[in-house]
Amino acid sequence: MTRTIEELIPDYIRGLPVYVPGRPIEEVERELKIHAVKLASNENPLGPSPRAVEAASLALGNAHRYPDGGTHLLREALARRTGVSTEEIFVGLGSSEIIDLASRVLLRAGLEGMTSHGSYPPFSVAIRASGAELVLVPQRHFAFDLEAMGKAITPKTGVIYLANPNNPTGTAFGAEELDEFLEGVPDGVLVVLDEAYIHYAPSLNRRKSEESYRRRRNLLILRTFSKVYGLAGMRIGFAIGRAELLSAMNRLKTPFNTSGLAQAGALAALDDREHVTRCIATNAIERKRLSAGLSGLGLRPVPSETNFIFMEVGPEAKGICDELLQLGVIVRPLGWMGFPEALRISIGTAEENDKCLAAMAEILTKRAGKGELAAR
């Protein structure tokens, strides 16, 4: 037999795009020899909950033991909070793992998975990695076009991924729109509703999607500890969904997907309401200030329901991101997410946002002087 190992890799995996993470601060500082701020990955600028840090530090003493593979304590706490049974909670290695597992369990060649253009790239990767066909529905005004998505459902559709609020555009749809959409989705199609940014959305109420789940059990709600709880580095998230589906995901996941440190940290972070409240309030204040500052520079940020700001700046978007980087401000160019003329800025602390605004002002002034970019 003359087959090589590489030939075993199927075309649908060979063709997958690589996830492009925000550049780490240390790397940029080493390369440019400047102090940098990272506003590129929608991390919590106020850090982790201090109670989570304490709980995880204590758990470190048990690092020689395998963690609780069934994540019992955390699932019980989450079930109490969300009003479902513990069998309806799945804890994953970040929501990332659950996004992947949903497609791996339900999709295969011959079926279709659907999401929107201009949404979170891991949705498309999960669908394509399952061997199913990816169906991308265009957006309207930087938001999910739920009506068009409903019309795109075929007998082959197995899973539909929604992010509410959406990354990278920062827009959200309301509970009524969701319910109307769910009405039109057949029982045999799973809707994955990724609510990573739900805490930050002034127009949304977390309880609403749980109520929708009680009515329509073909919904899988994803939440994460990576954003408002400030535990992105711990890698832990969870899903609310029907027990039969979660049980199949359990068979497929690696035996100890989340660490004992992450479980202890998450459990403590859940109870730290003070930290969560402070993070939401700070984000709201800074979101308003950063948006106003960018508008004041002639830019047009899309109104945000999240902890980041999306805006189209024209064909020079990548160049502007590079120049911001040279000035020590790491933001995210969005060509790889389907918006070659846009960039995304995570909302930082007041100091970080000031640095970002000053750098942006410097770049736009210089460019206007050269006549390269008419301020918009």
Ligand X SMILES: *Cc1c(COP(=O)(O)O)cnc(C)c1O
Site residues for ligand X per CB under 6 A:
42, 94-96, 120, 163, 167, 194, 196, 224, 226-227, 232, 237
Distinct helix (H) and strand (E) counts, the chain: 14, 12
Q: How far is the CB of 167 from ligand X (least distance, A)?
A: 4
Q: How far is the CB of 120 from ligand X (least distance, A)?
A: 4
CB atoms within 10 A of CB 85: 11
Is the separation of the CB atoms in 342 and 310 below 8 Å?
Answer: yes
Q: How many CA atoms lie within 13 A of 50 on its CB side?
A: 3
Alpha-carbon distance values, 276 to 17, 47, 197, 221, 345 (Å): 34, 11, 12, 20, 21
Residues β-bridged to residue 38: 330
Q: How far is the CB of 363 from ligand X (least distance, A)?
A: 26
Is the separation of the CB atoms in 325 and 34 below 8 Å?
Answer: no
The nearer residue to ligand X, 22 or 303, going by C-beta atoms, is: 22
The nearer residue to ligand X, 237 or 260, going by C-beta atoms, is: 237
State how beta strands 157-163 and 190-194 pair. Answer: parallel
The nearer residue to ligand X, 159 or 363, going by C-beta atoms, is: 159
Q: How far is the CB of 220 from ligand X (least distance, A)?
A: 13
Is the separation of the CB atoms in 326 and 338 below 8 Å?
Answer: no
Q: How far is the CB of 162 from ligand X (least distance, A)?
A: 10
The nearer residue to ligand X, 104 or 367, going by C-beta atoms, is: 104
The nearer residue to ligand X, 94 or 118, going by C-beta atoms, is: 94
Distance in angstroms (rounded) separating the CA atoms of residues 292 and 230: 25
Q: How many CA atoms lie within 13 A of 58 on its CB side?
A: 10
Q: How far is the CB of 237 from ligand X (least distance, A)?
A: 4
Q: Which of 149, 123, 120, 150 is nearest to 137 (CA)?
A: 149
Q: How far is the CB of 235 from ligand X (least distance, A)?
A: 7
The nearer residue to ligand X, 196 or 294, going by C-beta atoms, is: 196
- Cβ-proximal residue to ligand X, closest one: 94
The nearer residue to ligand X, 16 or 297, going by C-beta atoms, is: 16
